[in-house]
Chain A
Amino acid sequence: MVVAIAAGMMPNLTLNPVEPIQTLTAYIVGVSLGDVPHGTIEYKTIFAAGITLFLMTLTLNILGFWFRKRIREVY
């Protein structure tokens, strides 16, 4: 998370690698640094961002699991 701060903390839709951007993680941290009351739209938004992040890693991990299963040698 702290590493992601180096990316700039600026929401910006660009493909240019030298422009500041914001990662999902940094967004969640940025929102929850302020007060997030239970049930508000901000509260729901960070959970939506979280589940997006979760699904992304889940996809990568399923791919990895499948790949490892194919490659692993069985003695």
Chain B
Amino acid sequence: MSQTKNLDLIKMRKRIALNKTLDYIFCIIGVLSMLIGFVLLFSLIIDLFIDGFPRLGWQFFTSYPSRFPEKAGILSAWVGTTLVMIVTAMTAIPLGIGAGIYLEEYGKRNWLTNLIEINMNNLAGIPSIIYGLLALGLFVYFLKFGESILTGGLNLGLLILPLVVIATRESIRAIPNSIREASYALGATKWQTIKDHILPYSSGGILTGLIIGLSRAIGETAPIITVGALTFIAFLPSSPLTAKFPFFSFRWLFDPFTVMPIQMFNWVSRPQKEFHLNAAAAGVILLLMTLIMNGFAIYLRHQFRKRIKW
């Protein structure tokens, strides 16, 4: 009797040992998969920095693109990127948050919302070039905005709109229903509940989604190319601030522009080696811009998480 029991025990121990080895092997496979992605990305970034760093300097930021690689800079590109991102944020933020609140709080669940949800997920996933075609047909030719900052900004705004809507919905959905019920029980209207409870509690998630959307928009090339952003722009859009009353103008909205990724694309497609170094330097700047935006998103999320306790 005790003999068989011992045998069982030995079998059991063997099986446990085998499972532990399998566990270990799986862990190693997981670490390796993680390392491959991480090391590849990291070496790309290091390469970019090594190539691009010597070109970085004050002159690089303050000069226009030029035929001579050592004189060329990204002034028109970073100004263009900044202005386009302002228009993008102005369109995507109110529309995206508004639509997200409607779908989550007011909209009823029926075939229409299902249809909207399929569309929303589809729009978040379609290739960005299709937004470029939409903008070419709608903004450039139908509404006659021309190949301007306004067109580019609205285009990128549409591109990230589904991302913002999805982020808004997800973070609103994470709020416990008891909060809404408590608010209604005290006699608050729907709008009061949303304004005083839903929006403040979900703002961390919404802001994170917004900034992630904006950092996607900052790197998009394809939709901007179809709209016809020129690659060689040796002038700045007109200034938003003017000397005369009313001290600001919206002329810059209709000026032609170029953005950082297009400038890089242009430099990369030239045969000379020096231009490739310029492209790497511009890449470093673009990377830093996205990194700062993402860091800001993480910081904001942390701040909002700290304040909320339920």
Contacts and interface: CB of A to CB of B under 8 A. Distances in A.
Q: Do A and B bind each other?
A: yes
A33 B225 contact: yes
Nearest to B264: A2
B121 A53 contact: no
B137 to A, nearest CB: 7
Contacts of B126: 53-54, 57-58
Nearest to B118: A65
Given A2-B265, A64-B121, A29 B222 contact: yes
A28 B221 CA distance: 12
A61 B127 contact: no
Interface residues of A, number: 22
Nearest to B134: A50
A25 interface: yes
B226 A62 contact: no
Interface string B251-269: 0000000000100010000
A61 B129 CA distance: 17
Contacts, number: 61
B122 A38 contact: no
A46 interface: yes
Contact of A50 (B117, B133, B265): B133
A42 to B, nearest CB: 12
Contacts of A54: 126, 130
A28 B118 contact: no
Interface residues of B, number: 22
Contact of B125 (A33, A47, A57): A57
A12 interface: no
Interface in B226-255: 226, 228
Contacts of A61: 118, 121-122, 125
Contacts of B149: none
Nearest to B269: A5
A50 B129 contact: yes
B136 interface: yes
A1 interface: yes
B141 A1 contact: no
Given A29-B226, A50-B130, A57 B122 contact: yes
A74 to B, nearest CB: 12
A46 B133 contact: yes
B225 A29 contact: yes
Interface string A1-23: 11000000000000000000000
Q: Which 5 A-B pairs have the closest CB atoms?
A: A1-B222, A61-B122, A50-B133, A32-B226, A57-B126
Given A24-B127, A28-B129, A50-B130, 4 more contacts: A1-B221, A32-B132, A32-B136, A54-B126
27 contacts: A1-B127, A1-B129, A1-B221, A1-B222, A2-B261, A25-B127, A28-B129, A28-B132, A28-B133, A29-B129, A29-B222, A29-B225, A29-B226, A32-B132, A32-B136, A36-B136, A50-B129, A50-B130, A50-B133, A53-B126, A54-B130, A57-B125, A60-B125, A61-B118, A61-B121, A61-B122, A62-B122
